[in-house]
Amino acid sequence: MKIKKIISIFLYISIIIVPLNLISFAEELNLSDILYTKESQKNIIPISVFILNCSCRISASDGYVKINASVVGKSNVNKTSIIIKLQELKSENWVDIKISSKKIGGKICSSSNSYSVSKNHIYRAMVIVSAGNESKTLISTSQRY
Contact 140, 85 (CB under 8 A): no
**Distance of alpha carbon 74 from alpha carbon 52, whole angstroms:** 5
pLDDT of residue 5: 79
Between CA 56 and CA 68 the distance in angstroms is 6
**Spans of the chain, pLDDT less than 50:** 20-29, 31-38, 40-41
pLDDT of residue 83: 95
Q: Looking at residue 3, what is its pLDDT?
A: 79
What pLDDT is attached to residue 102? 92
pLDDT in tens, 53-92: 999 999 988 899 999 999 999 988 999 999 999 999 999 9
Q: How far apart are CA 111 and CA 66, in angstroms?
A: 10
Domains of the chain: 51-144 (2.60.40.10)
